[in-house]
Structure 1
Amino acid sequence: MLEETEREYQHGPLAPYLRILAVYGGAVAATAAIAALTRRRPPDRLGLLDLAVMGVCTHKVSRLIAKDPVTSPLRAPFTRFKGVSGPAELKEEPRSPVGELLACPFCLAQWTATGYAAGLVFAPRITRLVGSTMTAVAMSDWLQLAYAKLMKEAS
């Protein structure tokens, strides 16, 4: 049955993606089990500021992992360098489904947001500090890009 379904998909075999999904599901289940065993509870609610910080932090950390030259050693076993894709970002071609995950900020966002949510359960203060730091870095990036654009238009 899986082989028939795989033929319908042009991007390749589905089994490696099932393994990635199993790892994600297993990590979420293990986190929930550990939280239950240690009597940790998620926040009763997330305010708009928490959600905004979580969103911007998820964006920044996902791009940092997927595109930043500094994190390229983590991606190198699973990707091929193809050039530069933007300011301080690399373009890489995945060699495998793991490479697709590591080189795709959209794919990593789910994992990053889940890690942030787990952090709010186990270490909310440090998670908010790290989240605020990464949000400030993202805002700085956007300001740097806006400044560069303004300078280019001015000259």
Structure 2
Amino acid sequence: MLDTLRDKLNQAVRGYAPHEHRPLDGYVTAMTAFGGLAATLAAATKITGRPVPDRPSAGDVVLLSLATHKLSRLLAKDAVTSPLRAPFTSYAGPAGAAELNEEVRDRGSSVRHGIGELVTCPFCLAVWVATGLVGGLVLTPRLTRLAATVLTATAASDFLQFAYDAAKKSTEA
């Protein structure tokens, strides 16, 4: 059945990018996995009977926004997390401030290529991270707020490090 769906997808999108490889199977796999994540969080919320807030507090939105930014960049760009990306990427060089530039691996597998694009893009990962953090806020709010506080403090520290470095350079010039 999966092969039939894949064949139909390939037929339907054959003219999408005839002169450029686009890993549409990989994107479908990623979308399916994301749907699975969202469904799992929804099911866990229903099973546990946890109340879903009518609207999150402004403080939680700010906390999770900053935490999402930091965790997305940490997963997509940080040198320390490169082993997580290595099956899907290859090292291309430093990107400054403990970040790396990586290239998506060759086109041998569109699923591998699609995942490579996802794990090297902090903007793309942010949707996944925010979904996980919001799910965590519903299911385990105290633990999620604590973890988000660590990530938010780290993000603030990063910005302060850059500000300090810029101030130091401006006095040396």
User: Given the alignment, which residue of 73, 79, 82 partners 2:89?
Assistant: 79
1:1-155 paired onto structure 2 within 5 Å: 2-3=9-10, 4-9=12-17, 10-95=20-105, 96-155=113-172
| SS in structure 2 at match of 1:84 | strand
- Bigger Rg over Cα: 2
Quote the residue 2:108 is aligned against: none
Contact kept in structure 2, 1:92 and 1:103, CA below 8 Å: yes
| TM-score (norm. length: structure 2) | 0.85
| SS in structure 1 at match of 2:93 | strand
Amino acid paired to 2:79: P
Amino acid paired to 1:22: T
| Distance in 1 between residues matched to 2:102 and 2:55, nearest whole Å | 39
Which gives a bigger RCO, structure 1 or 2 (Cα 8 Å, sep 6+)?
2
Q: Which runs of 5+ in 1 are unaligned?
A: none
11 and 135 in structure 1: CA distance in 2 versus 1, 3 angstrom threshold: farther
| Distance in 1 between residues matched to 2:119 and 2:23, nearest whole Å | 18
Contact kept in structure 2, 1:6 and 1:14, CA below 8 Å: no
Which has the larger share of helix?
Answer: 1
| Distance in 2 between residues matched to 1:12 and 1:115, nearest whole Å | 27
| Distance in 1 between residues matched to 2:79 and 2:123, nearest whole Å | 18
| TM-score (norm. length: structure 1) | 0.94
Moved more, 8-17 or 25-34: 8-17
| Paired-residue identity, % | 48
Cα RMSD for the two superposed structures? 1.3
How many residue pairs align between the two structures?
A: 155
